[in-house]
Amino acid sequence: MTIEKLTPIFRDVFENEEIDINLETKASDIEEWDSINHIYLIVEIEKIFKIKFTTLQIQKWENVNDIITDIDKLVNAI
């Protein structure tokens, strides 16, 4: 799983084509990343990768890297 696959999802959900993310990007770095859009982001990632995060996983996320780690875990488990 690479950051390139995640970037278009972020741009689509946040409706901003200029968004660039890296492994350290946090919610506070992106103005559009509020709590409502956070849910839309989760739903979109789950739909695209056909996975389902647990609440415990989501609660521990602090940056993009944490999201990617959990996507990898779930995708590899399928």
Q: Which of 35, 50, 76, 77 binds other proteins (CB under 8 A)?
A: 35
Q: How far apart are CA 11 and CA 8, in angstroms?
A: 5
Give yes or no for residue 75 binding other proteins (CB under 8 A). no
Give yes or no for residue 15 binding other proteins (CB under 8 A). yes
Smallest distance from the beta carbon of 12 to other proteins, in angstroms?
A: 10
Give yes or no for residue 58 binding other proteins (CB under 8 A). yes
Give yes or no for residue 23 binding other proteins (CB under 8 A). no
Q: Report whether 63 contacts 30 (CB < 8 A).
A: no
* Sign of the torsion angle spanned by Cα atoms 46, 50, 56, 62: negative
Q: Report whether 70 contacts 61 (CB < 8 A).
A: yes
Return residues touching other proteins (CB under 8 A).
15, 31-32, 34-40, 42-43, 55-56, 58-60
